[in-house]
Amino acid sequence: MHCSLFCRVIDNYGDIGVCWRLARQLVHEHGWHVTLWVDDLASFARIAPALDMALACQLLDGIEVRHWADPLPADAAVGDIVIEAFACELPHSYQQAMAAQARRPLWLNLEYLSAEDWVEGCHGLPSPHPRLPLQKYFFFPGFTPRTGGLLCEQALLAERDAWQADTAAQHAYWQARGVPPCPPGGVRYSLFAYDSPAAAQWVQQLAAGSQPVQLLLPMSKVVPDVLQALGLPADAAAGQHYACGQLALYLLPMTDQAGYDRLLWSCDFNMVRGEDSFLRAQWAGRPFAWHIYRQDDDAHIDKLQAFLQHYCHTMPPALATAVQGFMLAWNRNRLTADSWPALLQHWPQWQLHARAWPDKILAGGSLAARLVQFSQIRLQ
């Protein structure tokens, strides 16, 4: 089965992060041949360092990667399945080529992940092309059996468990990044977020708290807020570290996807942003909070609350209240003095919930498995 997967990079890493994971799953777990068309190879290379940005066509990890530039080259083959990621809009010439095929391809629009109720009713719906004899299907990732599922590799949770049980591997991991062992009673947190006043408030609370905290900070948009809040040099770079009260801050360079997974697996708490990191934090089986991408008219708050309804549904009421309060306060840029301490009071319960959560939401199969099944049914 040949799949042509098209991706326009919108927010640097999220869109291509999802597409790159999906492409690898379709190839390695389901035996598909995948051509991944990407318009921004520079951003792609930040999470896939082996990518050669000078090449318009290359084979990377079993996937044919091609630079999406207009017009598409004459040898742009039409796959049996064509996926446009996140409504990126295929070139008109390519749509015409699809319509000209003796057996027209299955055309899917892979949508953004949402936990909102309406997703179940829209997942899998067809949309006829206004001019060409083509039909596009909407494929919605989601948290329930009536959606397209969630991106997660078949062996990922077993790999996570093995990593979290291997203290020697974790020690070597931290040593390679210049991070010393945690002091007695200390914890490790990671922060990968958008710029936010809440981040400044949070790190100030950690620095003034009673517990030693090692904060791992990959280079991202939130770094200037953290540095300013702690009175640190604005030009601080990856590889540097600072001590501020109870907070030890370590600035990390960007890493590939496997490296970021290990960071999440190795921390006690992860603050993450966007869609791809949001899911990877859940697979880590550790407490996490989500900095969702801000939208006009606070539409992102509705999306956050829809997720929290799922995530907190089986939590003890006091924990659910604390988790919802912290995430909503962060995303409204109004972190209160008690929102973080309220979470700490229920930490053991949150750890148990976080550990059980991945198995619960993967019970109906991963996104890649559901996409393959959806495609097989419609191409019979």
Q: Which two tokens stand for residue 41?
A: 């190879």
Among residues 265, 273, 230, the alpha carbon closest in space to that of 250 is found at 230
What is the amino acid identity at position 194?
A: Y
- Exposed / middle / buried, residue 254 (Cβ in 10 Å: 0-12, 13-18, 19+): middle
* CA 186/CA 119 separation, integer angstroms: 41
**Other CB atoms within 10 Å distance of the CB of residue 223:** 23
Supply 143's token pair: 């948290």
Alpha-carbon span 58 to 51, nearest angstrom: 8
DSSP letter, residue 61: T
Closest CA relative to residue 334, chosen from 287, 312, 301? 301
**3-class DSSP string for 208-256:** CCCCCEEEEEECCCCHHHHHHHCCCCCCCCCCCEEEECCEEEEEECCCC
Catalytic pick among 64, 84, 261, 275: 275
Residue 333 φ then ψ, to 5°: 60, 30
Sheet strands side by side (includes 288-291): 241-244, 247-252, 213-218, 187-191, 269-273, 288-291
The 3-class SS string of 160-177 reads: HHHHHHCHHHHHHHHHHC
Bridge partners of 290, per DSSP, are 272
Is residue 15 flagged as an active site residue? yes
Kindly list the distances between the CA atom of residue 250 and the CA atoms of 29, 75, 365, in Å, as whole numbers in the listed order.
Answer: 36, 47, 37
Q: Which of 11, 15, 117, 297 is catalytic?
A: 15
Cβ contact 128:103 at 8 Å:
no
For residues 49 and 351, what is the distance between their CA atoms, to the nearest angstrom? 33
Active site residues: 15, 275
